[in-house]
Amino acid sequence: MKAKFAEFVSYLENLATTHSLIRHRVGEKHFFRFELEEMLTGMRSDINYPALILEGYDFNFIDLDSDNVHKHLNCGFMLIGKISDKGDYDAIHTLWDHLEEIGDEIIIRILSDKREKKTGCLAYFHVRNVTGTPLTDINLIHYGFRYEFQLSWPISNEIDREVWDDAG
């Protein structure tokens, strides 16, 4: 089965559903997909906290010699919370600590699921490539962490003759 980013989206949404401190549900959404810029310039109104937000991705192709082609994705997720009092630095730091713990748990779960081969999209996940950065939005009410990492999977370098009229 070919691993795709859509498989990773479903996987991460499942983590948001099963994590006891996030508890994503149909009627109480804690999992979203959108870009960092949207978070920094103004959050959606239907977000419940803590929110796990999967960002888009960019990719490149890597030839690991012998025509061993991999699609290499750079992607990330954010964990976001809300503090209404911009001056309550103790609450802000407590929230950052809490969200960092959740993020670390998610990374460890991804690593464990990779080892147990629960989904093909994690096969080339390496924890050494994970970075984390604290976040604050421009309104100074949303705080969180952004985790960035890489995924990759092999892709066939054989021509699919069914999609090319001239491939014989």
Q: Respond yes or no on whether the N-terminal peptide bond of residue 50 is cis (omega within 30° of 0).
A: yes
- pLDDT(43) > 60: no
Angstrom distance (rounded) from CA 35 to CA 39? 7
Which CATH architecture group holds 5-154? 2-Layer Sandwich (3.30)
Please state whether the predicted TM-score (pTM) of the whole model is above 0.75. yes
Largest CA distance in the chain: 69
Angstrom distance (rounded) from CA 27 to CA 11? 19
Residues in Cβ contact with 63 at an 8 Å cutoff, skipping those fewer than 6 apart: 69
For the chain, the average pLDDT equals 87
Angstrom distance (rounded) from CA 22 to CA 77? 14
